[in-house]
Amino acid sequence: MNETMVGYANATPVSEQRYAGFWMRFWAYVIDIVVITSLNGILLSPFKFVNDGIAISVGIWTVTGIVSSIVYFAYFLLMTKFFGQTIGKMVLGIRVIREDEEPLRWSDLFFREVIGRFIYRVFNFLMILYIMVGFTNQKQGLHDMFANTRVVYDR
């Protein structure tokens, strides 16, 4: 029997994952914010030449605010879905996985990257909950718990 198997006939392999802690994830996020800010700078610079540089409003929101929010959420959602990691995570050698190590699903990532991040952004005082990553056994934030995901070191 394989040494990664537990002593039962229909046992599943036990993976030995190293979970990424608070500081690795923090620095990955900082890198991602630099990337997103750069993307927004490229995408939003034409708006400076429209309407004499005055922000175009759609109800209570500005067009640039809407576009920058879409870029923010789409970046995290699409990068994590297609690569399992954002550019910041790639640089630091960490990735997002499901708890059961199956491929990431859109529903997992929607809860993790859109709902979780939306909650943190709307209720700024909840940002303090990111500190949970440093104190949970599997280094999970609240958004990881919503989606049953983990952030681990790449092998």
Q: For residue 10, is it within any domain?
A: no
Q: For residue 13, is it within any domain?
A: no
Place of tokens 């802690």: 21
Q: For residue 94, is it within any domain?
A: yes
The count of structural domains within the chain is 1
Start-to-end CA distance of the chain, whole Å, equals: 23
Query: Residue 146's pLDDT is what?
Result: 86
Task: Count the Cβ atoms, other than its own, within 10 Å of residue 86.
Answer: 25
Q: For residue 1, is it within any domain?
A: no
Could you tell me the pLDDT band of residue 16, with boundaries at 50, 70 and 90? confident
Domain boundaries, position 116: 22-153
Between CA 12 and CA 10 the distance in angstroms is 7
Tell me the whole-structure pTM to 2 decimals: 0.80
Q: For residue 93, is it within any domain?
A: yes
Which positions ≥6 away from 35 have C-beta within 8 Å?
A: 75, 86, 87, 88
Q: For residue 15, is it within any domain?
A: no
Mean pLDDT of the chain: 84
Q: For residue 5, is it within any domain?
A: no
Give per-residue pLDDT as tens, 105-145: 999 999 999 988 888 888 878 778 888 888 889 999 888 98
Give per-residue pLDDT as tens, 79-108: 999 999 999 999 999 999 999 989 999 999
The DSSP secondary-structure symbol of 133 reads: G
